[in-house]
Amino acid sequence: MILEELGLIGNCQLSALVHRTGELVWCCLPRFDSEPIFAKLLDEKDGGSFLVGPADGEPGQQSYLENTNILETRFDTPTGSDPEKRKLSTSNSTHGGENYRSKIKRIG
């Protein structure tokens, strides 16, 4: 896995790395300094990940929507094109991290 194949989503409280295949390969919740819940970036076999993408596993093209932190991964398949848009947000957060509720949202 190389850096050029990863996109960053985040909101100044937490972040995640998304591979061009649509796979979430690194994410610590509920804060940056928490233990990772997805760590395939460091351990391909046992690190864990979450995949949203085409069944054939072909990578898409990633870009950010203009002037936003919304990452779009566009998958072109024989049956059509599907843009997957993601952002990270928190709701009901409390300073200190004890009451964070985090969401990775699919937009559109």
* Domain range list for the chain: 3-107
- Is residue 102 within 8 A of residue 108, CB to CB? The reply is no
How far is Cα 50 from Cα 38, in angstroms, rounded to an integer? 7
Angle (CA) 10-14-20 rounded to 5° is: 45
Burial label, 59 (beta-carbon count in 10 A; 0-12, 13-18, 19+): middle
Question: What pLDDT is recorded for position 40?
Answer: 93
- pTM (two decimals): 0.74
Percentage of residues of the chain with pLDDT beyond 70: 75
Backbone torsions φ then ψ of 6, nearest 5 degrees: -115, 145
Question: What pLDDT is recorded for position 39?
Answer: 93
**Where residue 91 falls among pLDDT bands split at 50, 70, 90?**
low
Instruction: Provide mean pLDDT across the span 41-63.
Output: 86
How far is Cα 37 from Cα 14, in angstroms, rounded to an integer? 12
Instruction: Provide mean pLDDT across the span 72-94.
Output: 67
What digits encode the pLDDT tens for the residues 9-51? 888 778 889 999 888 899 988 788 888 889 999 999 999 988 8
Is the pLDDT at 88 greater than 90? The verdict is: no
Token pair for residue 102? 């985090």
How far is Cα 102 from Cα 31, in angstroms, rounded to an integer? 9
How far is Cα 3 from Cα 14, in angstroms, rounded to an integer? 19
